[in-house]
Every structure is written in structure tokens, then in C-alpha cells.
Chains A and B, each alone.
Chain A
Amino acid sequence: MQTFDLEAQGLRALNATLHAQADNTNQTKWEIINPKGSHAIAVGLDAPIEVNVKGSTGYYCAGMNKQATVHVHGSAGPGTAENMMSGTVIVEGDASQYAGATGHGGTLIIKGNASSRCGISMKGIDIIVHGNIGHMSAFMAQSGNIVVCGDAGDALGDSCYEARFFVRGSVKSLGADCIEKEMRPEHIELLEELLERGGCDAKASEFKRYGSARTLYNFDVDNAAAY
């Protein structure tokens, strides 16, 4: 295992070293010590490596991730796993606002709570949260799944497209055009797989599904006066 002291060696050196890992690298396990809430830790990775961050991170940790597994052993700042393409990001603590924003793929697992705007404009990522998520989560979410074992804040899924939201607890309010939907067998099956992937101790049958009512998709002449 390679150990990297962020405080001593600096952020640019860290990310350059991680970027230099090829697909077939032998150095598959990395440990980052002294993250101390620094910004942009392990961003833009594109190799099947495992990066363990020993502490809490600041803005944009593991942004644009491809292939890699980034494991934060602490809490994560705003924009964690932003625009992730593939791979896995695990946060042991809480994640700040807009975790997983615009994510195209991969899995983001948050073991604590996620703050506001979790999964905003997500485009295929799976986000699994053991705790609660904050207000305006999944705003304009396009595809992918959010699983929330706790509660969701105000305006869940406002103006969403085809993303699915599974919430076990309460939803403070639903955003425009987001509705509760029927849990069909295929959704139970999908959710069971997601819960397993996220290491959640919860039953799929305890969740409700939410998604788009699809009334904002097209221009409706009856709404012309509103413009």
C-alpha cells in the first residue's frame, strides 16, 4: 500500500501521482493521511485503484471519478463525487451540499447524512444514503437512483426527469412535478440490489418510490399565460 501525506507533499503532487496510475498499475491501494478538509482531493481519477482518505475532506473530493474507489474515513465537504462517471465513492460520515451533483455513473455511498441538493441534475449515478438528505435534493435529476434510508427534506425531485428516488422515512415536501409512485416488483428488485451495494440494513419493502409525473416535459398550451 502507498501512503501519501497530503500536508507534507501537497495537493498537486497527490493528484498528479494518482492520475499517473495506468489501468494495469500494480499500486492499487493508496492511503491519504492528513487531508484536513483540503479541497479537490483525488479528483479526476481514471484507474481501478482504491484510495482511502484518512480524515475529513473539503470541496469536490473525488470529483469526475472514473473506475476508482475513493473511501473517505470522515465527513466530506460540498460537491463530493461531483460529475462522477464510474467507480465508487464511500463517505463514512456526512456529506455536505450537492453530493453526487451531475453524476453520470458509478455509486456514491454516504453512511451519514447528505446535506441539501444531493444528486442535483444527476444523470445516471446511484446515490445511497444511510441517513437523511437535505432540501432541494435531486433537483432536475435526469436518470439514476437515490436511496434514502432516513428522511428527505423539502422539495425532493423538483422538475425531475427519469431518475428514481426511494425513501424509507418521511419526505418533508415534494418538488414540482415529483410524485409518489407505485413500487412494482422490478423496483423492489432494483432497490434490493442497491441496498446490498450500499451495505444498508434495510428492507426494500419499507421504502416508497418517487419520480416524475412527466407533466413538465412538453410545452402545454394551457400554460401559455404563465410565460
Chain B
Amino acid sequence: MCGIVGLFLKDKSLEPELGNMLTDMLVTMTDRGPDSAGIAIYGGETKSNAKLTIQSDTPDTDFDKLDTELGKLIKGKVKMSVKDTHAVLNIQADQVAEARAALAEIRPAIRIMSHGETLEIYKEVGLPKDVAERFDVRKMSGTHGIGHTRMATESAVTTMGAHPFNTGSDQCLVHNGSLSNHNSLRRKLRRLGVHIETENDTEVGAAYLTWKMQTGSTLGEALESSLDDLDGFFTFLVGTKDGFGVVRDPIACKPAVMAETDQYVAFGSEYRALVNLPGIEDARVWEPEPATVYFWSHNAAPTAQEKAA
């Protein structure tokens, strides 16, 4: 069992409230997943810059003067803002690969949580309310975000086992369920050169989607083919720069409820997670159909990749 929440804002005036609303939703889902929690938030864009969200178990030493050291190495501007065990590095968009390589060199213990133009991922072991507090999620603003509360069934309770998983630039995935063919799929993906860090089933799901998109699939196509290639139970919520998508396996025994008003589209594992959203009494509330890909985007003219979703 796990809990998933997601909020996609249509009404710009709610954007400063995104973190606050998502935190309430996340905390309500604590009894579905009390061992770890995570949140992916799509915040403001900084022109021609990229964000790397990094994590360290020893932030005091690892983040100490990291911006200066990294800046020197890649010969570029690095702005760092530290939040507990995580830090967001603001770098030039064309220096992401360089910065990742440099980080591996000078701070090998640092893990990359996410990369993209607007995406930041924060996740840790602990009760959702504590995790949200550590990262001050309530104060975060943004256009959309997704969150996850974890009750581990398939692998260890660790930071890297927590969701969301970064699947590509500005893309992430959260999962409720359990994949039964993750071991064979992990072997297959590793043979194909895909980097998979943990023994976690969802990471394999995330790596699968990344691999599909790297080899020419759109997000929509990747999600469609996941219905054939992934075995087990899943409700996936997938974040992209402009919106989020939902897909459930054909059996659809993992719960999912959606609500839509003029102001937002919200996702919750249970209706409980949505009850304090503004105007929920008059929202259109429904369960997403099994084996059907849904997508919402801020982009009035979605890219081909999103359209296919």
C-alpha cells in the first residue's frame, strides 16, 4: 500500500498555495504510507538555467562550499540553495552533463534527485508530515506537483527507495502497487546500458519509461507500452514540465480518485486526500478507467510528446 497525491493548477492565483495544499493532501495519506515520503514540485522557470536537485546524508560537509568548487570546475555560474539534506543547484542549461560528472568527482556521496528546468524532487525516510516540514514544502509555490507516501513492500526503506523517481529532464514518476516482473526487466534494461541504482520495483518502472522515451517513444506511447511490458499492479502518476498524466493497470485494484474544477485537477489515492481542496463539493469527481492514459497540460498547444499522451 502507498499513497499518491497530485495537484495541477489551472488558476494562477493558487500557485503560491501549491506546496501548502499538496502538503495537506500528503499528510492525509500518511496511513497509506508512513515509512517515507517525497514530493516533486514544478516551480518557477529561470531563463536558460537548469536545476539539479541533489541529496546527501552528510549535507554539512558535502554542501560546504559546493557552489564555489563546482562553479570553478565547470567554469560557470552555480547558485545553490540548501534545504536540509537536499540542495538545488541552479546552473546553466547547457552544463548539466558537465556538472553531473564534476559532482561525481568531487562529491561522490551525493545523489541526484532530479534534473530539469522547473522540477525539484525532495524525498526522505520518515513520516510525511516530518518530511514535508524538513523541506518546508508548505512554502513552495508552483504550477503543479505530485507526492507520494510509501509503505515499502518490495525493497528497503531508504531515501533512494522513496518516490518520486526522476525519469528524464523535468519528468518524474510515483507509483502505488507492486511490479512482479521487475527483476527480469531490470536485468534486461541493465544489459541495454540503462543505469538502475536500487532493487526497487518502481525504479525499474521509471527506468523503463526513460528508456522508452530515449529510444523514440513519446510519453504517451511509453505509458501505453507499459501496460504490455510491466506485470503487476500499478497506478502511476507521471509529472512533466507542463502537466501530469495518470495510468492504471488493467486490473486497477490500486485505488485512484480524480477531481476537477475550474481551478485545478487533483489526484488522490483516496477521496480523503481531496476533501479540503477549495470547491471540492462541486468538483467533478471520478475514478480513472483502467488501462487508459490521462493527461493534463498547461501548454495550450502541447508538444507532440504530450499530445500522444
Residues of A within 8 A of B (CB): 36-38, 56, 58-59, 75, 77-78, 93-94, 96-97, 115-117, 134-136
Q: Is B290 at the interface (CB under 8 A from chain A)?
A: yes
Q: Which of B274, B275, B287 contacts A96 (CB 8 A)?
A: B287
Contact mask for chain B residues 235-268; partner A; CB cutoff 8 A; 1 contact, 0 none: 0000000000000001111010100000000000
Q: Are A94 and B271 in contact (CB under 8 A)?
A: no
Instruction: Identify the closest chain B residue to A76 (Cβ).
Output: B271
Q: Known contacts A37-B270, A116-B252: does B275 contact A75 (CB below 8 Å)? A: no
A70 smallest CB distance to B (angstroms): 17
Q: Are A37 and B287 in contact (CB under 8 A)?
A: no
Q: Is B102 at the interface (CB under 8 A from chain A)?
A: no
10 tightest Cβ-Cβ pairs between the two chains A and B? A37-B272, A37-B271, A36-B275, A56-B271, A115-B287, A37-B275, A58-B272, A58-B270, A116-B252, A78-B255
What would 17 more interface pairs be, CB under 8 Å, given A37-B270, A58-B271? A36-B272, A37-B272, A37-B274, A56-B285, A58-B272, A59-B270, A77-B255, A77-B270, A78-B255, A94-B287, A96-B255, A96-B257, A97-B253, A115-B287, A116-B253, A134-B290, A135-B290
CA distance A136 to B255 in the complex (A): 15
CA distance A36 to B275 in the complex (A): 6
Please name all residues of chain B whose beta carbon is closer than 8 Å to the beta carbon of A36 when the two chains form the complex: 272, 275
Residues of B within 8 A of A (CB): 250-253, 255, 257, 270-275, 285-287, 290
Please name all residues of chain A whose beta carbon is closer than 8 Å to the beta carbon of B286 when the two chains form the complex: 94
B268 smallest CB distance to A (angstroms): 9
Interface majority SS (helix, strand, loop, mixed), chain A = loop
13 contacts between A and B (CB under 8 A): A37-B270, A37-B271, A37-B275, A56-B275, A94-B285, A94-B287, A96-B255, A97-B252, A116-B252, A117-B253, A134-B290, A135-B252, A136-B251
Please name all residues of chain B whose beta carbon is closer than 8 Å to the beta carbon of A93 when the two chains form the complex: 285
CA distance A56 to B250 in the complex (A): 26
Q: Are A77 and B271 in contact (CB under 8 A)?
A: yes
B281 smallest CB distance to A (angstroms): 8
Instruction: Identify the closest chain A residue to B281 (Cβ).
Output: A55
Q: Which of B255, B271, B273, B285 contacts A97 (CB 8 A)?
A: B255
CA distance A56 to B272 in the complex (A): 9
B174 smallest CB distance to A (angstroms): 20
Q: Are B272 and A38 in contact (CB under 8 A)?
A: yes
B2 smallest CB distance to A (angstroms): 15
A33 smallest CB distance to B (angstroms): 13
Most buried by B among A36, A59, A93, A117: A36
Q: Are B290 and A116 in contact (CB under 8 A)?
A: yes
CA distance A70 to B287 in the complex (A): 23
Q: Are B270 and A75 in contact (CB under 8 A)?
A: no
Please name all residues of chain B whose beta carbon is closer than 8 Å to the beta carbon of A116 when the two chains form the complex: 252-253, 290
CA distance A97 to B289 in the complex (A): 11
Q: Which of A75, A115, A135 contacts B285 (CB 8 A)?
A: A75
CA distance A78 to B32 in the complex (A): 14
Please name all residues of chain B whose beta carbon is closer than 8 Å to the beta carbon of A59 when the two chains form the complex: 270
Most buried by A among B253, B257, B273, B287: B287
A31 smallest CB distance to B (angstroms): 17
